[in-house]
Structures are given as structure tokens and as C-alpha cells.
Amino acid sequence: MPLGVLCAVRGVAESLVVQALDANPQLQVTRRCADLTELLAAAEAGLGRVAVASGALEHLDREAVDALRAAGVLLVGLASADAAWSAERLRGAGADDVVPEPDDEAGAAAVVSAVLRALAATPAVREPAAPPPAPRPGARGDVVAVWGPTGAPGRTTVAVNVAAELAATGASVLLADADTYGGSVAQVVGLLDEAPGLAAAVRQAGLGLLDVTTLARLAPVLSPQLRILSGTSRADRWPELSSSALETVWSVARDLARWTVVDVGFCLEQDELLSYDTRAPQRNAATVRTLEAADVVVIVGGGDPVGIQRLVRGLTELTDLGLGATRVVLVNRVRASVAGPRPAEAVAQALARYAGVVDAVLVPEDRAATDTALLEARTLREVAPGSPARRAIAEAAARVASLVASPDLATVVS
């Protein structure tokens, strides 16, 4: 039985492609689609195994390719001859094969060959995808996600200062803000955030145009070895952080920096379960995808009874979701006024009893140092190197570094 092919080809190339596909006994064009919406609908209806689409098709980006993959449909992209970037964009978006858009029968035959190659490289029955191979030691950097439950336990302060401590070792660091509820990294470090770098990087990734040079341009240098990728300036801009394209950003970031430290939002709720349209953007997907991509997760809780209770529940939630297997637990603002005369001992006992955590990093409250750092838009290392809070966060950074074995990248993009 011929295998179904979906066509979304623009201009005069459409008739050439359709005729060539139908002339092959192994293939049959089952739907000629006018736009991406029709193409995705046909794919989800199971009308084809392969889609052939023009690179100029509007909104054909990484997210659309992921939707095709989810429906079990491969993509052969047709690169425009008059646009040198067309082929690069299609490959970056994840097309299974890319060939020039045909203008004669020979070109159409090349399209048929590409379709057959894509089918031959994929099992007829889709099996669960195997995990990707681990990167070669020393070839790429590591991603560190900084997460904590609701209640402002100090995720951003920890993320900024962990990034600064890692950069102080001479390693290249990219600090990114992926909090879709209240991103504030740019304000903490004193940068304007009118043009959020992460949203721009996600847009480039969705178009298949993000590379190390582009990402470096979007992430200004904050201090020696430390770059920043600012978050969205308003909470209502969260749909700009497409989760599928965000995966590409973190992948490219591994080639840009030895460490990518990401401040993420608190909520892990699988909000797609609350929507009838499972292809609609999901607000918490940016957090969940980042946690999935992270090599280490720094889990931040508040050093008060409510904060500890939320931290214990958060640790359970992460475990239930299979996230943060490699983790550093950090309790912030540990102080006697809410934890008793021996606050560190009380917090340690509570975590050991209720969460089985016996090696948490306890950060003493140092309001004077943290207020000064926030006022001057600097890190604790800069304003109060002897602060107990700074020393504890430096310990957390050292523990993060000890949990991964890959050495520093040989080069740093300037």
C-alpha cells in the first residue's frame, strides 16, 4: 500500500512535486495543503507519513516541526533558490531532509528521493525515542537550573550569585532568566530589559537561525566570563518563550558557555491538562523543559517554617515528576528569629526528618549584605566577599561543579 504524503508546496513547484510523488508506486499524495494550519490538521488526522513543505511556508518553525513529529510525520523541506538562508533555517527547525525547491522534473525527482530516504531512515512503526547520547566529555557545557517553590525563597538572588561564583573560577558562564511569572534577573544586575534577550533567542531558534554567534550577540557581557540573557519584561509576555524552541536555546548555550545558569519559575503544574487545545502555548512548559534539560538543579527553599514545608513538598513534587535527579538543596535566609536559637540545627533536623535531605547548604540571613548588593546591582562576591551568606552560596556553586565531570570548554566566544 502506498505511503501517504502531505504537500504544502508554494508556487509552480507544487505541480512538479505532486506529479513526481504520485508517479512513484511507493508513495501517494493524500492532501495538498494551502497553509501550515491545514498541514498540521492533516498530520494529526493521520493522513500521511511524510510532509513536503516549502521553506517559505509561513510559521514553519521548530514548534511546528515538533507538532508534526508528535503526529508521527516526517518533514522534507524545500529550500528556496533565491534565499541562501532558507536551507539553514529548515535544518535548524529540525527538518529530516532538505533539498532545493524544484523547477524541473530532475529537481522533482530529487524531492522523491529525499522522501524515500527519510522513510528508510525511520522505522515503519514508531517506537519510543531512545535517549540522546551523552555529549563527549569536554565538548559542551552544562546547564544548571535554579528552582524553588512559591513564596519568594530567593531563587533569583541564588541564581545570580551562583553564576558569579562559577565565573570567578575562570569558567565562562551564561546567566539566563526563564521565569515566566516574575523574571527579575536584569533588574537585580542593573540592566535595562526593554529587549529581553531570551525571547529574542527563542524567536531565532524557532526560525532555525540560532547559532553560537547569534546567542552571544543577544547575551551582553556583565563581567569577565559572565554573560546575561535577560527575561521577559512583563509577565503577560510568557507565550514568547516557546518550550520547543527553548530546548534549542539551551543546546546552543552549551556551546557558548561552560555553565548556563537558568532562573526558572516556581510552578510545575502540567497546565496542558487544563486546556482543550493541547497545541496551545503552556505557561509552565518553559520551567519544566528547562528542568528536564538541566544537568544539575539547585533547589531553593526559605529558612522559616512555611518555607521549609513548601520545600519538602516541592522536593516530593520534583521527584514524582522525575525532575532534578542531580540536585543541590539550598535553604536561604536561615535565622534565629523564626527557627529558634540554633536555626541551622533546627532546619537540618527538619529536612532530614521530613525529606531525607542530610546535606543541604544552609545560607544564613545577611540582610545588610544582600540589601547592599541589590541597591548597587552587584553580586555578594563584589560587595561583601566575607559575608556568611556569600560563603554559603560559594559552597553551593562548588558543589554544583563537583556533580558534573566535564572539563571547561577550550574556547570562549567573545
pLDDT recorded at residue 122: 67
**Cβ-contact 206, 61 below 8 angstroms:** yes
Paired strand residues for 5? 29, 50
Residue 150 in grid coordinates: 512559591
pTM of the model: 0.71
- CA–CA separation, 222 and 231 (whole Å): 15
Q: Residue 187: is it exposed, middle or buried by C-beta count within 10 angstroms (0-12/13-18/19+)?
A: middle
Collect all residues with Cβ–Cβ distance below 8 Å to 57 and sequence separation of at least 6.
8, 10, 35, 36, 39
| C-alpha cell, 139 | 565538548
d(CA 396, CA 49): 49
Query: pLDDT under 70 in the chain at which residues?
Result: 83-84, 122-139, 193-195, 271-281, 405-414
Euclidean distance between CA atoms 290 and 229, whole angstroms? 14
- How far is the C-alpha of 141 from the C-alpha of 155, rounded, in Å? 22
Give the pLDDT confidence score for residue 312 in this predicted structure.
97
- Integer Cα distance of 413 and 111 in angstroms: 38
E runs forming strands in 257-368? 259-264, 296-302, 327-334, 361-364
Q: What is the predicted pLDDT for the residue at 136?
A: 35
Distance CA 308, CA 14 (A): 62
